[in-house]
Amino acid sequence: MDRPERNVARLAASDYRSFPGKAPVVNLLRALHLIGVVGLGASVLGGGPEQACDAYCLLVLLSGAAILALDVWSSLAYVLQIKGMGMAVKLGMVLWMVLDAGHRVELFWVVVALSSLLTHASGRLRGYSPWPALRQHTIQADRPRSTEP
């Protein structure tokens, strides 16, 4: 009889989805996201007008949410791994920036630090999940390889 974790791992691995052109779409969203982050940083740290800061916050939120949605759509396990949970926390902090202008500088630096830590963490840490069957190395083993160049 199979253990429940093994069934979850099989389900998570077999449910990985993609579509032709996904890589360029994600790259475009990342470029928009970086434009938003740089604009947000310049606005927050340079004391720019509040409307500009709000616009860049919106760009960061929308592009980040779209990236998160694509990652979750590709594999539901993503949201239960450190990388998915971290992304959700960062988006929540950017939303907090919109709602609490008095703490924008501190929140901005926390988001930058968290982004750096998560981006440069090992794959093992980024793919870690409190649920053993959803850990990245388990899912990667059965993930179909992309045929895109």
pLDDT in tens, 23-41: 999 999 999 999 999 999 9
141 confidence band (pLDDT: 50, 70, 90)? very low
The band of 149, judged by pLDDT with boundaries at 50, 70 and 90, is very low
pLDDT for the residue numbered 134: 60
Mean pLDDT, rounded, for 50-64: 91
pLDDT, mean over the chain:
82
pLDDT > 90 in the chain, percent: 44
At residue 68, the pLDDT reads 92
Q: What is the pLDDT of residue 145?
A: 52
Comparing 81 with 133, the larger pLDDT belongs to 81
CA angle 114, 136, 5 (to 5 degrees): 125
| Res 90 pLDDT > 80 | yes
Using alpha carbons, list the distances in angstroms from residue 31 to 15, 34, 63: 27, 5, 9
The whole-number average pLDDT for the span 122-149 is: 63
